[in-house]
Structure 1
Amino acid sequence: MRVFKKKVSLRWINKRRRERSTRHVRSETKHIPLDLTLEVLSRLPAKSVVRFRCVSKLLSSLTKLPSFINLFGSRSSSKRPRLLVTFSTGLVISFPQHLNPDGSYPPFYSFQIKNLNGPSYALSESVHGLILLPGFKIWNPTLRQFSTLPHPSEHIPSQDCKSYFLGYDPLEGKHKVLFILHSEELRVLTLGAQESWRILTKGIPKHHPRGYGGCFSGVLYYKAHLLDDDKNIIMSFDVKSESFSPIKYPEGFSNHWTFDMIPYEGRLALVTYRCDLPDIDLYILKDADGHEWTHQSFLNIFCKSKLRSNPVTFKGITDDGELVFAPSMLSESYCIVYFDPSRNSTREALFEGVKGEIRSYCGIVTSCPYIVDVFPNHIESLVSL
């Protein structure tokens, strides 16, 4: 009987100790400064932050504050970005762009998005974690969320809403969508703000958009045609000031070629590339006001390629200034080719088991799924609309 009482007392003592310890931890947690809590949370992966939102209403509200979302975005932009590839089956695969210190590549991972079923090509690259899709939709791959923007105007038919672009202002941490119906109907919508489309009227050159270029360093670039001068130009749109400025093409540059706009060494650059020739021409804007360009040519950049079995096409540029080339069709492996113009060198990243990953998500694949889009330099974002 005495032994029983002794056991009971020991259990009671241990229980009391645990209760005191729990109260102590809770007391210490309450005294953690708010700014320190946000600082710690901003350093976590997005997946962990989303899980923390389920812990309590306090953490959920803190991690949804605009200030925290901007802080998390700043942290994400300083981390190693990844390369997203979307397939016709709705599968999304995230590949690493950079090597580990030991020379190996981190593993790739994948997830399924039902909304991506079918050929739905994106209208933008990954702009600070967000991607613009047809139908005024914004896709956040990190949160697996799709948001539909309000229609610019009930008086504008949907079939006429074709020219709209996604930009990002790094100074204020804001995404904006620029909509162009015709030369005198331009509107801007700030994402995440409780506001509607605003009409732009001052200091706008009369022009028609001809295609998307890209957004970097707070400036949106797109191909356009000036109506007054009857010339093809590159139009720049400062996302913060919402001002426009035309840029002339390089002298002797045929703007009928297929080319891409990229940021190179902090400046606008034009890349021309033909699939049947392993050559690249790089035009770098020297002075935006004076419209001066420099030209570099790189020949036979794939002459040493051993892993590439399928033709590759140009897909963009990494944060380290490497041009990205990826296949448009999927084989048993997936090979990404990176070309560094500053060193005139290439490196290849070969990832095995991609088809097996697709089968595990989508079942047995009877035909080879084709690749819809490739998004280099993608970062995590907590922006939710």
Structure 2
Amino acid sequence: MRIFEKKLLLSNQPLKKKKRRRQERSKDDDRSQPNHIPIDLTLEILSRLPWKSIMRYQCVSKLWSSFITLPSFINSFTSRSTSRSPTLLVTLSSGLGKYVFSFPQRHIPDGSTCSPFYSYQITNTDCDFPLSESVQGLILLPGLRIWNPTLGWFLALPHPGTHRSNRKGWSSYLGYDPLESKHKVLCVLSKNHSDQPRVITLGARESWRTIPKGRCPSHCLAEGYGRCFNGILYYRARLRGYGHDIIMSFDVKSENFNIIKFPEVRSRKLHMTRYEGSLALVTRDYDGVTLYSLKDAHGHEWTRERFVNHLPSERVWRDSLRFRGTTDAGEFIFAPYVFHDAFFILYFDPRRNSTREVLFEKNMDEFRRSCGLHKTHSFTMEIFLNHIESLFSL
């Protein structure tokens, strides 16, 4: 791969330098060395490089910059990222800054210390309260801001409300259509019932569109943010005249809605997640984890499973571990929200009934010194599971 990269750089150098080099070479060498690489081969080589190399080579010339911003190239890079193991994206926030880390998500032995793939500091404080998980490499933030952690950029979308008085009371969700490789943002009224939410497609240079009447039941939002997988966006909602919360599903491609009933469960602390390819609800207590999995696509049958975990109870309650979601391998993730010492994550495999603990920063004192932080500074931690690298930009 490095040989190809070197050839790519040489093939794009100014003509004077090329001419001087050719004069210095012998005729035999000149005939044996290719002075041009086809565009399709160039794109194929570039798509296989790490994103850091791609962003560096974007500065080589206007031609290469145009290659890297092509939708076909971005989709090709995303497809390769999807085929690889996803990463664990972690943000650490203190009063003086925010830090982003990308870690391997799989194949980490119990008790080991994991080093990041990359890390950087950002100044955007809106990341403290994300409104979505990592959806095909992008994250939705408050204020209708889109964050691409790979590129490190933030983009503010226009508000769906046309008048100032109409800009309050909207909540937003990020979805992805894998068939057409499109991200969409859905906006729904939070307090008032409505049957006409609004949607916008990222990168399509379009304005907000109103869902036509008859395609969406009148509803308002409940607490919590949505989950999107397999082209379906799920979020908690309330129907007019209905005594209980429901789950609303939104097909990102067709933009149709469907109502899913909640399972019969007393606890209201249900965490929406994905488990083994299906929508699932998770609740945790002192003894273990209860999992409700959606059995049918129409949303009327749920299966219930009870898993007695072996999380270290003393550490669980001392550090206030929270359920953070499930990995693509089916492991439940627990992690503290606030911590002072080395931060860690617990992986619980419900099928094997096994737990493993992974440290992600062994020496926090050294990290604090490098960031100019005092020992008394605490950190809040956000975790984004199943994250992939993306070159998507608007």
TM-score interval, normalised by the smaller of the two chains: 0.7 to 0.9
- Aligned counterpart in structure 2 of residue 28 of structure 1, from 21, 30, 34: 34
Displacement, 1:349?
A: 0.9
The residue that corresponds to 1:297 in the other structure is 306
- Aligned counterpart in structure 1 of residue 260 of structure 2, from 216, 224, 247: 247
Matched, 1:111 2:123: no
Give the paired residue count. Answer: 366
CA distance in 1 between partners of 2:301 and 2:107 (Å)? 36
Contact 2:110 2:357 survives alignment (8 Å): no
SS at match of 1:54: coil
Matched, 1:269 2:280: yes
SS at match of 2:343: strand
Superimposed CA distance per residue, residues 45-96 of structure 1 (whole angstroms, 9 cap, x where no aligned partner): 1111111111121111111111111111111112122222222221122222
Displacement, 1:23?
A: 6.5
CA distance in 1 between partners of 2:375 and 2:261 (Å)? 49
Paired AA for residue 288 in structure 1: A
Identity across matched positions, percent: 51
TM-score by length of 2: 0.84
- Where do residues 2-151 of structure 1 align in structure 2 (5 Å cutoff)? 16-18=23-25, 28=34, 30-32=36-38, 34-88=39-93, 89-99=97-107, 107-108=115-116, 109-116=118-125, 120-151=128-159
The residue that corresponds to 1:227 in the other structure is 240
The residue that corresponds to 1:6 in the other structure is none
The residue that corresponds to 2:10 in the other structure is none
Matched, 1:345 2:354: yes
CA distance in 1 between partners of 2:22 and 2:79 (Å)? 45
The residue that corresponds to 1:355 in the other structure is 364
Contact 1:96 1:105 survives alignment (8 Å): no
Displacement, 1:279?
A: 1.3
CA distance in 2 between partners of 1:379 and 1:292 (Å)? 32
CA distance in 1 between partners of 2:259 and 2:323 (Å)? 25
Alignment CA distance shift 1:35-1:309 (3 Å): farther
Paired AA for residue 28 in structure 1: P
RMSD of aligned residue pairs (Cα, Å): 2.9
Contact 1:308 1:335 survives alignment (8 Å): no
- Where do residues 307-318 of structure 1 align in structure 2 (5 Å cutoff)? 310-318=319-327
CA distance in 2 between partners of 1:61 and 1:101 (Å)? 42
The residue that corresponds to 1:5 in the other structure is none
Q: Comparing 181-190 with 362-371, which one deviates more in the overlay?
A: 362-371
SS at match of 1:41: helix
The residue that corresponds to 1:190 in the other structure is 201
Unaligned runs of 5+ in 2: 1-19
TM-score by length of 1: 0.86
Q: Could you say which structure has the larger radius of gyration?
A: 1
- Aligned counterpart in structure 1 of residue 162 of structure 2, from 148, 154, 158: 154
Contact 2:115 2:361 survives alignment (8 Å): no
Contact 2:173 2:226 survives alignment (8 Å): no
Superimposed CA distance per residue, residues 143-199 of structure 1 (whole angstroms, 9 cap, x where no aligned partner): 010000012132254761431100011111110000112413411000011111111
Contact 2:138 2:146 survives alignment (8 Å): yes
The residue that corresponds to 1:207 in the other structure is 219
Displacement, 1:113?
A: 0.3
Matched, 1:335 2:344: yes
Displacement, 1:260?
A: 1.3
Paired AA for residue 279 in structure 2: L
CA distance in 1 between partners of 2:146 and 2:206 (Å)? 17
SS at match of 1:287: coil
Displacement, 1:43?
A: 1.8
Displacement, 1:38?
A: 2.0
CA distance in 2 between partners of 1:349 and 1:114 (Å)? 28
Contact 2:185 2:199 survives alignment (8 Å): yes
The residue that corresponds to 1:9 in the other structure is none
The residue that corresponds to 1:258 in the other structure is 269
CA distance in 2 between partners of 1:107 and 1:141 (Å)? 18
Displacement, 1:352?
A: 3.5
